[in-house]
Amino acid sequence: METSKIIIGYFIYLPVITLLTYFVSKTLFRNGKIFMMEIFKGKEDIALSTNRLFEVGFYLLNLGFGLTILRISTYGFNETYQELIEILSTKIGGFSIYLGIMLFVNLFLFFRGRRKSKLGNTPQVIKNQKS
């Protein structure tokens, strides 16, 4: 078993998942500030703090998942560069799909918070019921 090709795989995989996570995170949370400002009714300090906390959580969750699936198994790996590229494409492609799902989960949370915020602005009429 030649471990040098596996190590090369790690040196390719780690920067790619880190850069993908960084790009998606910065894009999502730069644009998410608008939603947070609306959800928190213009209270900039709490909106930006909450947005930053979501961003940190996004990094931790996604980089943690990326590191969890880091292992390149030596079983079935015949030490060719072609196999290394195929393994990396599967890992990076799977991680990209996961990041896309996480992006849409965060967008769902932003839209849900926005909707709940708008519902909170409308006065609700409560009728007294006599027993």
**Which of left, alpha, beta for 123 (phi over 0: left; psi -120 to 50: alpha)?**
beta
pLDDT tens profile 18-33: 999 999 999 988 888 8
- Cβ atoms within 10 Å, residue 131: 2
Helix (H, G, I), strand (E, B) or coil at 130: coil
Residue type at 56 in one-letter notation: V
| pLDDT of amino acid 104 | 92
This prediction's pTM: 0.78
Burial of 46 (0-12, 13-18, 19+ CB in 10 A): middle
For the chain, list the strands marked E by DSSP.
Answer: none
pLDDT tens profile 39-88: 888 888 998 998 899 899 999 999 999 999 998 876 666 778 888 898 89
Q: Which of 20, 6, 31 is nearest to 98 (CA)?
A: 20
d(CA 123, CA 109): 23
Instruction: Report the chain's C-alpha Rg in angstroms.
Output: 22
